[in-house]
Amino acid sequence: MLTGTAMVVALVSPPGAAAGSQAGGAALAAPAVRAAGSVALTAPGPESAAASPTDAPPDEKARARALDLARRTLSGGGHAAVERSPDDRFGEPKIVFGAGGLQFLSFPRTHHGLPVYGGDVNFMISRDGRNLLYTTSAQRAEIDVPVTPAIDKAQASSIARAGTGSGGGVAVRSARLVVHATGATPRTAWEVTAEGMSRDGVPTRPHVFVDAANGKVLDTWDDVRRGVGHSNYNGDPVDIDTTATDSAYTLTDPLRPGIRCGPVSGTFDGADDDWGNGSGTDPETACVDTLFGVQHEWDMLSAWTGRNGIDGKGNGFPARVGFDMPNATWSGTEVNLGRNVAGTKQTTSLDVVGHEYGHAVFQTSGSGGAGGGGWTAALNESTGDILGAMLEHYVGHPDTLDEPDYLVGEEVDLLGTGPVRNMYDPSQINGHVSCYNPNPPAPDPHAGAGLLNHWFYLLAEGSDPTNGNPASPTCNRSRVDGIGIQKAGRIFVNALQLKTAGWGPGEARIATVLLAYTLFPRSCKEAGAVKAAWEALWVSSQPGEPIYECWPFEMRLESSQGTTPAGGSVQVWIETLAWLDPPAVITMSSGRLPDGISLFIFPPQITAGERALAQIWTRPDFRPGRYPIEFIGTVGSFYQIARFELTVTEPPPKLEITVDPATLTLDRDLKGTATLSTKSMSGPPATYRLTVENGAPDGLTAALDPTEITPGQGSTVTVAATRATPPGTYPLTFWAIGPAMSASATLTVKVPAPEPAPKAWRPWTRYKAGDLVTYDGHRYRCRQTHTSQPGRTPPRTPALWSLLP
């Protein structure tokens, strides 16, 4: 409600939740929430449904806890928001599970055995069943009414029939005595239900509440909801789910209970599973399009909103096609689909089917059914438009069929005048409401549907979209940024579970704001967009509306723990998420550090959504153990803390290895040896594997003997080159690799120029010391200068020649 007394609401804090803003800064564990004029409370904690990562229903224990919590509240467990008298009783609840496993329980009420219209109490309870998050009821005052009517059933039926405005085209089907409790003062009334045809030939099923004391009509609405859409063929062929019997196929969905399609009378049966001919006037084709639409709507409700089936409890409703009316309707129990004025297309497009089944979603959500005139009827119609738009976007047809949009009826041309509703600018349709005014829309709820349609478009797309969708003028000339149709639909469909009889824009605002905070508990972007979209249409903050103090950002660590030996270091990434637009600038720091640990964060300031790198160092003499380290992100007076556990272990054993000599010049045969020595500096004995990292050219090799040693032992290094190895200086790095550490040493190897190839020994030749010759298959090196003589061969003159290996 926008003025006067607000509907009864309750907002409670889960036990043990953290406090909100404090002087000098607050470490927030969750966004704080408070009702207007009350103290700040906290939003659902980590065990709540809002924190659940999936839409899977809660387990049996959680369901039992939720049911017990609701019943204790109804029995007087301290919940002041539930108006009740000593003669009130509550029946078995309707239970629906929503997004994130939220539990919605709706309890019907009786007073002295009379059903109480508007007296149902709706609960939103956390996934784990421990926290009562919200309560709604349309009843505003304790019931104190007479249960004996002054107007009898026959008189009430006559008054109701006259009040339908349908002439003689309706007949009364039932009348029951109830308590009507949606007004300021509850009244005993007759609820009269009629059925028939309206003056324009459209099926009608009016409900009329007649005051049992004075015969005045208190309230009236029609179960039949009329929708329009564009005639869209979903492609040829399309897949639909049908049922096979022993002798035929039927257009009954075997996977989605209650979903089936047929003509005005009878059924469609086929010898094969091939349906329709694709024409715009074929009734069987109309059923193909209808089943295609509702089957995708069922799937969309599950995937996008967490709803189980059309009614939230795993059930759907049948549809009939071929009605000779320029319309499509929801009767309260089934969808009836007709044709356009020209008779060229049937009203079985995606948004028409989505619209009509959207009425079923509205009727089976929360409490109050489909009842209510004025703004409630307008919200019912806009619910159909919203579900139709969501269905179009979920299917995502290309523009060769009917691409997703926010127009209603532009292609079917239902009345020959183009679109019948425009969600981004409702005022484009004559008489349709774009902005809120306190007077309920009358007499056509379709005109009033523009308000909620406009709100949904602003929430999903924004006032000035950048994705190709049209701009949407706001009533207060503000800018609204959209959050996407999936998030918008998730919020709206789940908010319907808090619906009560007599719902209006004010109550819808409260419910959608609450669900935005509940479904996106660590973000104010979504709830801020919900509020901004309502305020852009002049629907201002409501009495009892939750007010949250939001985090500007969320901070978390890539890893919450790390290990380093004393003297070592670790790195950790600090990640952030932005909850404000524009993103906040975060100053990064750390809490107090133990002596011996130092820390550096780069950069010290980041914009929310970015990340920073923290480097943690320890001194070599730091005592091993586990040490908590706090990273602090600060924006103004708000801060968040991310905790890291650093494990410091004993320093690794130290090992020293050396090579002697440090520089090795290969001999004339391009060979040489060195000694690798090891010495343990600390730590227990261990076996080390020796390897060589050869950075020299091909032909230079190094061999180790042995290749495994313990500290204190040594290894002989044999280095050899080939004549193809270029002369030069080359480093060889030797590694001792153990279980806890490794060490290295480098040997510099000098490779000389290779000697010339030896020539065959010849007599009467002058040889100098060092010359090489070959003789009889052996190599010799000259030891002193001389001239060779015949008969004096190298083997016979050891003083002159050395035999080489």
According to DSSP, the β-strands at 611-618 and 625-635 are unpaired
Q: Of 537, 454, 444, give the one whose Cα is nearest residue 228.
A: 444
Give mean pLDDT, residues 71-98. Answer: 82
Residue 350: is its pLDDT beyond 80?
yes
Q: What are phi and psi of 328, to 5 degrees?
A: -145, 140
Give the pLDDT of residue 669.
Answer: 80
| Cα(551)–Cα(42) distance, integer angstroms | 12
Give the pLDDT of residue 596.
Answer: 93
248, β-bridge pairs: none
Give the pLDDT of residue 698.
Answer: 75
According to DSSP, the β-strands at 569-578 and 611-618 are antiparallel
The per-residue DSSP string of 376-444 comes to: HHHHHHHHHHHHHHHHHHHHT--TTS----SEESTTTTTTSSS-SEESS-GGGSTT---S--SSPP-S-
> How distant is the alpha carbon of residue 372 from its chain centre?
34
Query: Could you report the per-residue pLDDT of 739-777, keeping only the tens digit for each?
Result: 666 788 999 999 988 777 788 888 888 988 888 888 888
Structure tokens at 418: 């183009």
Give me the helices (H) in 75-211, please.
Answer: 153-163
Question: What is the radius of gyration, based on Cα positions, of the chain?
Answer: 42
Which position has the higher pLDDT, 30 or 289?
289
CB burial of 51-74 (b: ≥16 within 10 Å; e: otherwise) equals: bbeebebbeeebbebbbebbeebb
Identify whether the C-beta of residue 312 lies closer than 8 Å to the C-beta of residue 365.
yes
| Cα(370)–Cα(359) distance, integer angstroms | 8
Query: Could you report the per-residue pLDDT of 221-232, keeping only the tens digit for each?
Result: 777 654 322 234
Element (H, E) at 528: helix 525-535
| Cα(30)–Cα(36) distance, integer angstroms | 19
Give mean pLDDT, residues 661-690. Answer: 84
Give the pLDDT of residue 694.
Answer: 66
Range with the lowest mean pLDDT among 40-49, 184-193, 464-473, 783-792?
40-49
Give the pLDDT of residue 441.
Answer: 75
Identify whether the C-beta of residue 633 lies closer than 8 Å to the C-beta of residue 588.
yes
| Cα(459)–Cα(531) distance, integer angstroms | 9
- Reported pTM: 0.65
Give the pLDDT of residue 166.
Answer: 59
Assign 168 a pLDDT band (cuts: 50, 70, 90).
low
374-395 and 350-363 are packed helices; what angle lies between their axes, rounded to 10 degrees?
130
Query: Could you report the per-residue pLDDT of 534-553, keeping only the tens digit for each?
Result: 999 999 999 888 877 777 88
Residue 717: is its pLDDT beyond 90?
yes
Residue 34: is its pLDDT beyond 70?
no
Which position has the higher pLDDT, 167 or 605?
605
Give the pLDDT of residue 581.
Answer: 72
> How distant is the alpha carbon of residue 183 from its chain centre?
40
Give me the helices (H) in 438-524, please.
Answer: 445-461, 485-495, 505-519
Q: What are phi and psi of 782, to 5 degrees?
A: -70, 130
The per-residue DSSP string of 176-189 comes to: EEEEE-SSSS-EEE
The three-point CA angle 521-525-527 to 5° equals: 65
Which position has the higher pLDDT, 200 or 732?
732
Give the pLDDT of residue 373.
Answer: 82
| Number of residues that this document lists for the chain | 805
Q: Of 524, 521, 530, give the one whose Cα is nearest residue 131.
A: 521
Which position has the higher pLDDT, 729 or 652?
729
SS3 content of the chain, % helix, strand, coil (to 5): 20, 30, 50
Which position has the higher pLDDT, 201 or 581?
581
| Cα(388)–Cα(143) distance, integer angstroms | 39
Residue 30: is its pLDDT beyond 70?
no
195, β-bridge pairs: 171
Identify whether the C-beta of residue 323 lies closer than 8 Å to the C-beta of residue 264.
yes
Query: Could you report the per-residue pLDDT of 419-446, keeping only the tens digit for each?
Result: 889 999 999 998 899 999 888 776 788 9
Give mean pLDDT, residues 787-796. Answer: 78
Which position has the higher pLDDT, 77 or 758?
758
Q: What are phi and psi of 109, to 5 degrees?
A: -120, 145
> How distant is the alpha carbon of residue 180 from its chain centre?
41
Beta carbons within 8 Å of 734's beta carbon, 6+ residues apart: 657, 659, 676, 690, 691, 692, 693, 702, 704, 717, 744, 745, 746, 747
Beta carbons within 8 Å of 239's beta carbon, 6+ residues apart: none
